Amino acid sequence: MIILAGAGSGKTRVLTYKVIYLIEQGVDPSNILMITFTNKASTEMKKECKVFEEDEITDLPTISTFHALCAKILRIDGERIGIPKNFLIYDSQDQKTPLNRPLKRWGFR
């Protein structure tokens, strides 16, 4: 199921309730993947599912952002394509940091 809608329209709630419904209908939570773009939505989905976990649901589906899921997959299987398990992911600030010290020393900053 894919939901495309604007911010604040209730996408996260719809997905969460759909997953809870599927689990209540007998779908094994380990066969469900909930994936989103933002950490905020991922956290909200996990929180919503845990509320229902106290009632009936004992296992939770995999709930993640695209980036976190891909990083996890690479850490598990990345060595097959030459990526070490301990690779680092740099954000834009991290990419600039190694350059700051030499640039400052050479008088460019």
Q: 90 lies in a domain? A: no
Averaged in consecutive runs of 10 residues, what is the pLDDT profile of the chain (109 residues)? Answer: 79 85 88 88 83 61 90 92 88 76 80
Residue 38: predicted pLDDT: 86
d(CA 89, CA 68): 11
Helix (H), strand (E) at residue 34: strand 33-36
Residue 84: predicted pLDDT: 92
Q: 39 lies in a domain? A: yes
Q: 104 lies in a domain? A: no
Residue 55: predicted pLDDT: 56
Q: 71 lies in a domain? A: yes
Q: 3 lies in a domain? A: no
Give me the domain span that covers residue 42: 11-84
Residue 37 per-residue DSSP state? S
Residue 72: predicted pLDDT: 92
Residue 79: predicted pLDDT: 92
Residue 10: predicted pLDDT: 84
- With CA atoms as reference, report the closest residue to 49 among 24, 25, 17, 27: 17
Question: CATH code at 64?
Answer: 3.40.50.300
Residue 58: predicted pLDDT: 60
Q: 55 lies in a domain? A: yes
> In the 3-class helix/strand/coil scheme, how is 41-83 assigned residue by residue?
HHHHHHHHHHHHHCCCCCCCCEEEEHHHHHHHHHHHHHHHHCC
Q: 60 lies in a domain? A: yes
Q: 4 lies in a domain? A: no
Q: Domains in the chain: how many in total?
A: 1
d(CA 70, CA 87): 13
